[in-house]
Structure 1
Amino acid sequence: MKPKIYVTRKLNEGILAKLEETCEVTLWEEENLPVPREVLEREIREADGLFCLLTEQIDAALLEKAPRLKIIANLAVGYNHIDIEAATAKGIMVTNTPGVLTETTADLTFALLMATARRLVESSDYLRRGAWVTWSPMLLTGQDVYGSTLGIIGLGRIGEAVARRAKAFDMKVYYHNRTRKPEAEEQLGLEYCDMATLLRESDFVCILVPYTPGTRHLIGHNELALMKQSAILINTSRGGIIDETALYYALAEGKIWAAGLDVFEQEPVPANHPLLTLPNVVTLPHIGSASIKTRLRMADIAADNLLKGLAGLTPPNLVNPQVDARDTKR
């Protein structure tokens, strides 16, 4: 019998056909709405494999309803929406899609930095509502990017890619990371420093750390108070890393100049979210890796991870390697 897999969102036909060659596939057909919890609970009962997105909360309670589940293939790099400990305890492999989205997400990070610095969204809205009646020396003036100072919190693959782009703009780049990276320092001319120094000295602060219990609200009132009044905060990592209430007050009271956010603590973000009311915030709907080429490649990698796990092989992007793929044949 073919293994049964449940896919939580509509996929490209080519990826779907690849899964259907060897598996019995059940698909949540909606493209713009997440699968309801009750549907997921029902479908996972018979599933050998789960192909999911970061929109699904894969917690211990859900996994208790999945006696046959062998592997969870996550269409994302981050996996804080999956209870890895619970999955590991039940011998369920969890995979992600690292590497492939590095350059695309770095492009978006730098684009968001520039759009926020030069007030592009605000300027476009100004023009569209017919407010532009004359040229003025200080009309919609922003902050310079070229030759400024960038602080990167989290120097992983994406952090290094952002640093490469920054060097092309002749930016001085500080970084803070759990461990120093001498090779990156030498190659990219980076300077390691503690977080307080980075926040005090940087014109732009980019957050590129994974979301963990230790990074939740890494940036709060105290950290924002250290930043320059002219500084810009950029987050393309995960929303919970910033205390959004603290950020709102820092922006509303002019303690920092602006913020560019691709991610929020609650996603989709409510339309009445306080940060959406501020003119000095550029907001995006979590599109860091959203290029056609990258998203298709991510789906292909997730599909490969899933199929290898179901075949009793160790997937190349296994998050919990303590689970032996051979032991999942049950």
Structure 2
Amino acid sequence: MNKAKVLVLGGLRDEALTDLKNICQVDIGPVGHRPEDDREWVLDHIAEYDGVIVAKMAFDREMIDAAKNLKIISTYGVGFDHVDVEYAKEKGIVVSNCPKSVLRPTAELAWTMIMASARRLHYYDHALREGVFLNADEYDNQGYSIEGKTLGIVGMGRIGQQVARFAKAFGMTIIYHNRHQVDDQIATELDAKYVDLDTLAKEAANNVLSFFKDGQAINQIN
């Protein structure tokens, strides 16, 4: 039985690549350093493949039409707005994503920025690079403790909920706005209160935005 032929567009961990090679014939394509040239290469070769793993390259109608034998498009991470999902369905192509793969790393990055902002790390870093040594005893240079402060989360999906868990562990008050209120069990676990956007903007010391880029969400924050 012939192995399925898979094209990988973008970086893939060595262990994942090894596992994939055990069950498929795998080729590594362009990784996006020259977007226009890379797209032309894929358009010329995609008809050979049964599956593709793609990061950000657009799989629109033109690309899907060129993929005569394609059966699955798998995207890195959560987002799949670079894939014409409806047209892929019309062509009988499965589209999959990896919703949990970037959940904790993204939440950790958001939390890192909250801590850096509270403790003014960017301010100290910039000053030190300019050869200025700030006096940490001066009140304005100290930043503030986040314990007891209010965190506002816009978009209480998986990532927003993970950020809320970090915030709860640090003793913050959590308010959130979402298209729909989360289940009572989750709200109780996170000790999170649903509020409207205006209230969130007024009461929160720090804000986290965590939502898909779509027509309903893109203009919520100005």
TM-score w.r.t. structure 2 length? 0.88
In structure 1, how many angstroms separate the alpha carbons of the residues matched to 2:143 and 2:157? 29
What does residue range 289-300 of structure 1 map to in structure 2 within 5 Å?
A: none
Give the corresponding residue for 2:63: 62
Task: Give the equivalent residue in structure 2 for 1:321.
Answer: none
SS at match of 1:147: coil
Q: Which residue does 2:124 correspond to in 1? A: 123
Change in CA separation of 1:40 and 1:119 when aligned onto 2, cut-off 3 Å: farther
Q: Is the contact between residue 48 and residue 70 of structure 1 (CA under 8 Å) also seen in structure 2?
A: yes
Contact 1:52 1:72 in 2 (8 A): yes
Question: When the two structures are aligned, how many residues end up with a matched partner?
Answer: 218
CA distance in 2, matches of 1:5, 1:204: 43
Q: Deviations over 1:40-75 (max 9, x none)?
A: 21221221100111x211212211111111101111
- Report if aligned partners of 1:10, 1:29 keep a CA contact under 8 Å in 2: no
Q: What is the DSSP-based 3-state SS (H/G/I as helix, E as strand, rest coil) of the residue aligned with 2:153?
A: strand
CA RMSD of aligned residues (A): 2.1
- 1 CA distance for matches of 2:50 and 2:131? 57
Indicate if the aligned counterparts of 2:61 and 2:84 stay in contact, CA closer than 8 A.
yes
1:219 is aligned to 2:209: no
The Cα of 1:189 is off from its aligned counterpart by 1.5
Which deviates more from structure 2 when the two are superposed, residues 112-121 or residues 65-74? Answer: 112-121
Higher relative contact order (CA 8 A, sep 6+): 1
Q: Is the 8 A contact 2:77 2:100 kept in 1?
A: no
- Give 5+ residue unaligned stretches, structure 1: 221-330
- 1:16-95 matches, cutoff 5 A: 16-28=17-29, 33=33, 36-53=38-55, 55-95=56-96
Mapped to 1, the partners of 2:117 and 2:47 lie a distance apart of 46
C-alpha distance in structure 2 between counterparts of 1:44 and 1:169, whole Å: 49
Alpha carbons of structure 1 residues 133 and 123: separation in structure 2 relative to 1, 3 Å: closer
Unaligned runs of 5+ in 2: none
Q: CA deviation digits over 1:137-175, x for unaligned, max 9?
A: 145443442211111111111111111111122211111
Identity level (%): 34
- Greater Cα shift, 7-16 or 107-116: 7-16
Compared with structure 1, are the counterparts of its residues 52 and 202 closer, same or farther at alpha carbon in structure 2 (3 Å cutoff)?
Answer: same
Please show how residues 127-276 of structure 1 align to structure 2 within 5 Å: 127-132=128-133, 137-138=138-139, 140-181=141-182, 182-220=184-222
Is the alpha carbon distance of 1:185 and 1:2 closer, same or farther for their aligned partners in structure 2, counting shifts above 3 Å?
A: closer
* AA at the equivalent of 1:33: H
CA distance in 2, matches of 1:34, 1:21: 30
Q: Is the 8 A contact 1:60 1:86 kept in 2?
A: yes
The residue number in structure 2 matching 1:276 is: none
Relative to 1, partners in 2 of residues 1:16 and 1:168: Cα closer, same or farther, differing over 3 Å? closer
Residue 111 of structure 2 aligns with which residue? 110
